[in-house]
Amino acid sequence: MITVRREKWIDCIDQIMPLCQMVHELVEKDIYGLPLDFDATLYQQSEDFDEFHCLVMRENGRPIGFHWMVMYQLARFKGKKQAGTDAIFVHPEHRHHSMKLIEFSEKYAKDHGCTTWAIATLDP
């Protein structure tokens, strides 16, 4: 069974770390030229302020994808809130489930008051 839900970053990072390392090796390392080096304190603080949202997709309890979303007020559009994607990834063997993560994320952002969602791809 495939599930998607918000999870606390600190509670799931060890489980999703293989996915984080995979996306870094596949794309991010070459594009950014930086090592993977998480600031756990900053992730926790942003989560506490309800700005950072860690969405995890699981198959029978095992992580197969994740979406790290940030939400913020738009100064140029008073009263409007935007969601932005920090990172989104689905294991290549499970890409046929990608739309479940996208659809959940879109509904999640709307349910949290976002009127827009900014996302970019890392295609080399």
pLDDT along the chain (124 residues), means of 10: 97 97 90 91 95 98 98 94 95 97 98 92 60
What local confidence, expressed as pLDDT, does residue 54 receive? Answer: 98
82 is written with which tokens? 């935007």
What local confidence, expressed as pLDDT, does residue 123 receive? Answer: 60
Name the pTM for this structure: 0.92
Domain that holds residue 45: 2-118
CATH of the domain at 69: 3.40.630.30
Residue 124 belongs to a domain = no
97 is written with which tokens? 């489930």
Residue 107 belongs to a domain = yes
Domain count, the chain: 1
Integer Cα distance of 93 and 9 in angstroms: 23
What local confidence, expressed as pLDDT, does residue 41 receive? Answer: 95
Integer Cα distance of 40 and 54 in angstroms: 13
What local confidence, expressed as pLDDT, does residue 91 receive? Answer: 97
What local confidence, expressed as pLDDT, does residue 44 receive? Answer: 95
